[in-house]
Structure formats: C-alpha cells, structure tokens
Structure 1
Amino acid sequence: MPRAPRTRRSKYRALSSLALLALAAGAVTACSDNDSASDHSASSSAPSSASPGTGKVAKAKLHMVDNGGHRLAFYVTRGSASTIVLDSGGGEYSSQWKDIAPKLHTATGATVITYDRAGLGKSDVVPGPWKVESAVSDLKAGLGQLGVTKDVTLVSHSQAGEIANCLAKDNPEMLSGAVLVDANLPQFFTDEEIPRLVAATQPEVDAAKKDPEKPENRQLISTAEGFAAAHKAFHEVTWPNSVPATVLVSEKTPFAGSPEDAQRWRDAAASFAQEAPNRTLVTAKGTSHEVPTERPDVVLKAIEDMFAAQH
C-alpha cells in the first residue's frame, strides 16, 4: 500500500506502542458475541486479479453490510467455497492488503475478503471506545451476510490479532486455519507489561485529545480507553487447539527502541506457537511491525502454505 502521510504514520506508531488494541472500558471479559445483522449490499470496482485457470480478470466488489445500525465496507473477490479473510492492523484500511489480495486469489482460487473496520475507510464511525466484542460482531455479521460461515483462513495483522483470538475462541468451527502477522497475543499482556504500555503512550494520547475529530486521533483515543483492565482480561484468552496457526513475528517488533519490550513481544509469539503441535513460528527477518508492507512475499508464502495444508 502507499505509505501513509507522516501524521497518520506517527499515530500508527503510537498505536503500535499500545500493541494496537483496546477492549471495552470496564469490560469484565475479553471476548463475547453480540451479532446483529440485516442485509444491505452495493458493489463497485476494486483491485482485480486473474482467476486461476480461466485467464479472466476477477474483480473485487464492494458490499456494504449493516450491523446494529452502522454500515461496514467489505471487499470480495469471488472464488471457491474456501475463503481467505485479511484483517488489517490498527488504524489501517483494507487497502493495506491491496497488493496481497489479488495474488492470493490467483495462487489459491479462494474467495478473498478484505474489509474496513468501523471508523475506517468507507465504514461508518461508531463513537466510544474500541471494543473487541463489537469488532468480532462486525466481522461475523459481514461474513454471515456474504454467506461465509466456515472454511475460513483468517489472516490478522497487529490489532486484528485480538479479533482473531476472540473469534477463534468462540467460533472455532468457522476457521480452517489462521496466520497471525506480528499480531497481538494474550501472552504478551502481563501484569508487568500493561503499565509499561500505558505509560509509554500517554503523551501521544494526551496530544490526540486536543484534536479528537481527526480520524487518526479518534482511533488512538478509542484504542486507549479502558486499556489496562481490558488487557488484563485479554491475557486469559486461549486459542483453540483445533485451529492451526502460523505465528509470523517481525524481527524488530513494534518496540525497536526498547529491547526489553521487544524481547517480551518475541517471547509471547514463541510461547503461543509452542502451546500446540499445529502451530508454527516464523520470523520475518529485518522487518519492523509493518510486515505486510515491507515483506509481502513472506506474508503471501505463510498464507499460501496454511491454505494448502488445509485443502
């Protein structure tokens, strides 16, 4: 994807320091389902790719879906009954995957779906703190309206790792596998780490509150609300052993300036991978947190390998 303007990327790095996620303020559990959906759709052209074996160009179409009164933008390149869902990092739009999605469709023949989370891209803004249970509900509602209820290979970058963990925990039957790209994992959010993250990002949060209507500031503020209590709960979330996962961790991590935090990030990825025999740890050499942009080839290989192993 094109590199974002400096102001947006500055806020994105601040979000990275928070590990790019927050749950509901005062939440007592980390994950819960709250589905509400009605069918609305429209279509427009988006990036395209060649359909495997046909020579025809497959175009992604925009579908606007409704969940609880707000609309979300889902981009669908139709293929086989198997589906690959690409979930962007915090503060990023579906365009984060614009170079990867067409190549995946060509390589696998699968239906490939990207989407804009609430408040980003073409999706409606939902006021208040960022809530993982709401994000899970939005994703499930969108997939349900698109007829996708099983055989999903879920690819999640950064903040989307929280959505993946909660979706997998409560709906393992939907997933055939997952690729977690430098993703937020429960193992990282210990009682020692959470206060360090809050303290490190407080100056950026305070600055954002001076102009709360800017989209990047709104995302940072909503992400920061209720962070400590919510992540204490997230630390208890467990990934189901029935769902295989590849953990793709960046070498530099989101904490290149803090060796201690960077090592904890790497240790969390290793710990997650070691908890079941159907999990694999891969290190993207030389990369920062923005692995999909810096090493799309590594991300593509991890997804293609996971998809091939399950089909």
Structure 2
Amino acid sequence: MRFHQSVIIVLLLLLGNIVTAQTNDSLINVGNHKLNFSILAGSGMPIIFESGGGNDGTVWKELIALVSQKIKAPLIAYDRAGFEKSGIDTTQINISKEVINLENALNQLNLDNRYFFVAHSLGGNYAMKFISNNPKKVKGAVFIDIVSPKFMDEKRALYTKNLFIDSLEQIKKESIGFYHLVLNYENTSEVMRNVASSIETPLTIIASGLTPFEGNDRTLFLSGLKQFSEQRKNRKYILVEKAEHYVFYDEPILVADEIVRLYNLVNSEN
C-alpha cells in the first residue's frame, strides 16, 4: 500500500510542471502589506489550505495536486504574513488581524461565498478563528494534527513560547513571520481556546500516531484531539497510527480522500 502511494507521489512530482502551469500566484493588498496566494483555478466552493506554524503555502503543493485529480474546486494556498512571498505589517500582527486580512483577500478574489478549510497544526488556530468570524460561510473543514484547546492550555502555551526565547534574534534574521508567531504564541493559543467551543461546522480531525511529542505529552496531545472530535456529532476522528505530524506527507491518499469525502458531503447539503 505504501509502495502504491509512493508511486502516485512520484508521478505527481513528475507532473509538477503541469500543475504549476495551472496555478495563478497573486499578491493581494490587504492594507499596509500584501499576501501571496497560489490558486489552482476551479469552480464552486473553494478549499483554503492553512499551513502550520513556520510553514508557508508551498507545504501543500503535493496534496493540492492529488486533490485536484478528484474534485475541480478552486484550491487555494497562501503564505501568512512574513512568510515566503508575503509582506508583513509589524505594527498590527496578531491572529485576529491576520484572519481579518485573510477575509479581505478572499473577498477580493471574487470567489464563491462559501468556504472549506484544510488546516495543519497551528493552522488550526487560524482556521477556527476564521470559522468563528464566518460561521455561515465555512461549510466544512479537515483539521490535520491541530493543537486542541485542551492540550494547549495557558501554561503549555507559555512553555512553548519560552522554548524559542533565547533564539529570537536569530529567528528574526531568518524569518520575520516566525519571529512574530513566537511573540504572539500565547495570544494565538488564547484566541483558539476562546473560539473552539463555538464551532458547529462539520469537521474531520485527523491525528498522527507519531505526534511531535513523546511520552505522556503524546498521550495528552492525542486525548485532547479525541475529546475535541467528540464534542459534536458532526465531527469525525481518524487516527493514523504510523504517520508523523505531517500526515499528508505520510498518507496523502487517505488525507485527500477525506477532504474530498467531506467536501462533497457539505457541498451537496448547501
């Protein structure tokens, strides 16, 4: 099975020039800076891919290529402020402002007024905030190894931020986006905890068996995701036991199929 999946990924990479040729990269002005969007054209409800902390939109390239073979929706990845090709307004950088800027950019793209999200890791925080701002517009989402509200409590958020404190100056030189992500980590986590319980959107939560954490922290991470998935009846939980944190690298077909399944389900209902 893994060999079969590897062959498909190799073929997709070989066909990368075709996929790239169909992708439109656009810098969208959201005020004092521009955000870079990579858009694979399609019709109907768009799928927005929200990257994890430290990643830009290119992390989704192979998965987008696979999903595009199964559905013809607009597939949109973007670089959050300060990452890759996107600019940043360092005077107004926090999760709430970034989500407003994303809303602004999507409105400018003149897309269908409904959205479907795919979010990885810390990207789940941003997706949840977007959903809480637009509960009637977001029809479904697939969350991949996101940080759950139970796991990322106030104490752990401070601990996580402090892991990077001694390296901040070097981080600032290498990635202004990641620098501000670290500075804002406690606020980003607090916002996620505040909005998580209000989300009624149908979700699939995909968890990796080999999370970035070990020992008891791994158990807590997974139990937090499982508990989050059980809070509403319209949520599905999938544990991929042999996958690491980037589940869509280890099991791309499984992830793509679940995106397509939930997308088709909510699209037919709305």
TM over 0.5: yes
Q: CA RMSD in A?
A: 2.3
Return the match for 2:62 from 87, 99, 104: 99
Question: Using CA pairs below 8 Å that are at least 6 residues apart, which structure has the higher relative contact order?
Answer: 1
TM-score w.r.t. length of structure 2: 0.84
Give the residue type in structure 1 aligned to 2:173.
E
Return the match for 2:95 from 132, 142, 148: 132
| Cα distance in 2, alignment partners of residues 300 and 232 from structure 1 | 30
Give the residue type in structure 2 aligned to 1:159.
L
Once the 2 structures are TM-superposed, how far is the Cα of residue 99 of structure 1 from its aligned partner?
1.0
What are the ranges of 5 or more consecutive residues in structure 2 without an aligned counterpart? 1-15
| Cα distance in 1, alignment partners of residues 61 and 166 from structure 2 | 33
Distance 1:263 1:247, change over 3 A: same
Once the 2 structures are TM-superposed, how far is the Cα of residue 198 of structure 1 from its aligned partner?
4.0
CA contact (8 A) 2:168 2:179 kept: yes
Distance 1:226 1:176, change over 3 A: closer
Partner of 2:32: 69
Partner of 1:214: 174
Give the residue type in structure 1 aligned to 2:146.
A
Give the residue type in structure 1 aligned to 2:174.
K
Which is further off, 278-287 or 148-157?
148-157
CA contact (8 A) 1:208 1:220 kept: no
- State yes or no: 1:309 paired with 2:265: yes
Distance 1:177 1:229, change over 3 A: closer
The superposition leaves residues 227-273 of structure 1 with CA deviations (integer Å, 9 ceiling, x where unpaired) of 345534532323545410000111121213xx222122111111111
- State yes or no: 1:271 paired with 2:248: no
Partner of 1:7: none
**Counterpart mapping for 1:253-264 below 5 A:** 253-256=211-214, 259-264=215-220
TM-score w.r.t. length of structure 1: 0.74
Which is further off, 154-163 or 99-108?
99-108
- State yes or no: 1:225 paired with 2:183: yes
The superposition leaves residues 101-152 of structure 1 with CA deviations (integer Å, 9 ceiling, x where unpaired) of 1221221111111111111121113326851112212221121111135331
| Cα distance in 1, alignment partners of residues 42 and 82 from structure 2 | 28
What are the ranges of 5 or more consecutive residues in structure 1 without an aligned counterpart? 1-45, 50-56
Number of equivalences: 252
